[in-house]
Amino acid sequence: MQTNAFRAPKPPSTSASGLHNFAFAGLAPSLSIVITSPVDVVKARMQTTGEPGTKKCDVSMFRVLRNIIRVEGISGLYRGLGISMVREASLNVLRLGLYDPIMARIHPGYKDMKSSKETGLPPLYKRLICGSLCGIVGSLFANPTELIKCRLQCAGATATGHSYQYGGAVDAFRKIIRSEGVLGLWNGAGVFAMRNALGSAANLSTFSALKANILHYHEDSIMVDTMSGLGSGFVTSCVMCPLDMIKTRIQNQPTDPVTGRGLLYRSTSDAIVKVVRNEGIFALWKGFSSLFVRTGPHYVLTFAIYGFLQRWKTTVTN
């Protein structure tokens, strides 16, 4: 009795494929932040300028950048880099990793962003809902790392707003729990969730639409991901900037040592009212230039690496 010398390889299991996508979703942005971290630090410093009780000063991106390098050195631009990488991984492993599984649930026939060329792009409202859900879930999971990152980045010799003096991410973690309790790690979680609900809705819906349209003219490649990532980064920056600025103010404000409540802002709405009243409506877009300079390249790198890893996985399994 003859047996076949060659057997067709077994297709990869759905669970293994899903785990790969979650791993890639966490890895891609954590690598990207190594490049874009300096602009993230500049953005945080710009957004805390003008807080109640601080002096008015120029908040142009290049002036802030120059002051940090002059006083703190190049290392000042990489404050909180380690926790920033953890933050990106913990946020995006769910924000990016859940998008395709959730969309497949609410849109029959959907497989992934690349398959939209054959199956059709899901309607805008579904992309917005899916992006918002992913952003909220990811932000609630990642808020402790976001809080620590924010406070570390806003400290330094050139910081103009309130700043916490921590010896590093682990020291910050211990001191926050000691002085504000475990729930203190979710300080600003509400505005962070709103920020990411809007940001992810804009980011993921725009990216998927741009990629689906470009794929009609070009094969899937790193260039397609790059163009789609840059376009989605601009839209995301426009939508997300006001809440990003408010989030930074809330998470970086001094807190009451007894109650753990903020001393400058009681809530998201209170912070918005005070910023607009004291600094003007356009203060909500403080740091927009640095946000886009950070967000544009960050999403370009994130989606380029994410797409590359997915194509590499497909090549290896085939």
Question: What is the CATH classification number for the domain harbouring 177?
Answer: 1.50.40.10
- The Cα 292–Cα 295 span in angstroms is 5
- The mean pLDDT of 54-77, rounded to a whole number, is 84
Is residue 9 included in any domain, yes or no?
A: no
pLDDT at position 218 over 50: yes
The pLDDT of residue 115: 74
Q: Residue 162 above 80 pLDDT?
A: no
Alpha-carbon gap, residue 67 to 90, rounded angstroms: 31
Residue 157 pLDDT greater than 80, yes or no: no
Q: Which of 71, 66, 68, 49 is nearest to 58 (CA)?
A: 49
Q: What is the pLDDT of residues 112-126, one digit of tens each?
A: 887 776 778 899 999
Within a domain: 5: no
Q: Is the pLDDT confidence value at 213 over 70?
A: yes
Whether the CB-CB separation of 307 and 220 falls below 8 Å is answered with yes
Q: Compute the distance between CA of residue 102 and CA of residue 134 in angstroms, rounded to an integer.
A: 8
Q: Between the CA atoms of 186, 189, 245 and 194, what dihedral angle is there, to the nearest 10 degrees?
A: 170
pLDDT tier for residue 271 given thresholds of 50, 70 and 90: very high
Query: What are 123-156's pLDDT values in tens digits?
Result: 999 999 999 999 999 999 999 999 999 999 988 7
> Residue 28 falls within a domain, yes or no?
yes
The answer to whether 221 and 191 have CB atoms below 8 angstroms apart is: no
Rounded mean pLDDT, 42-51: 83
Q: Indicate the pLDDT class of residue 1, thresholds 50, 70 and 90.
A: very low
In this prediction, residue 317 carries a pLDDT of 83
Number of domains observed in the structure of the chain: 1
> Does residue 145 lie within any of the structural domains?
yes
pLDDT (0 to 100) of residue 223 = 96
- Does 3 have pLDDT greater than 70? no
Whether 127 is in a domain gets the answer yes
Mapped onto helix, strand or coil, the DSSP state of residue 255 is strand
* 211 has pLDDT over 60: yes
Q: Which domain holds residue 218?
A: 15-310
Residue pLDDT, tens place only, 168-186: 999 999 999 999 999 999 9
When pLDDT is averaged across residues 302-314 and rounded to a whole number, the result is 93
Would you say residue 139 lies in a domain? yes
d(CA 229, CA 215): 14
Mean of all residue pLDDT scores within the chain: 89
C-alpha–C-alpha distance, residues 278 and 288, integer Å: 19
Residue 290 pLDDT class (50, 70, 90 cuts) = confident
Closest by CA position to 68, among listed 29, 40, 33, 35: 40
Report yes or no on 52 lying in a domain. yes
For residue 318, name the pLDDT band (cuts at 50, 70, 90): confident
For residue 64 the two structure tokens come to 């802030």
Please give the average per-residue pLDDT across 26-41, as a whole number. 95
Report helix angle 268-279 to 222-252, nearest 10: 90
Reply yes or no on whether the pLDDT at 10 is more than 90.
no
User: What's CA 177's distance to the chain center, in Å?
Assistant: 24
Give 109's pLDDT tier (boundaries 50, 70, 90): confident
Structural domain contains residue 84: yes
Residue 140 bridge partners (DSSP): none
Q: Residue 54's pLDDT band (boundaries 50, 70, 90)?
A: low
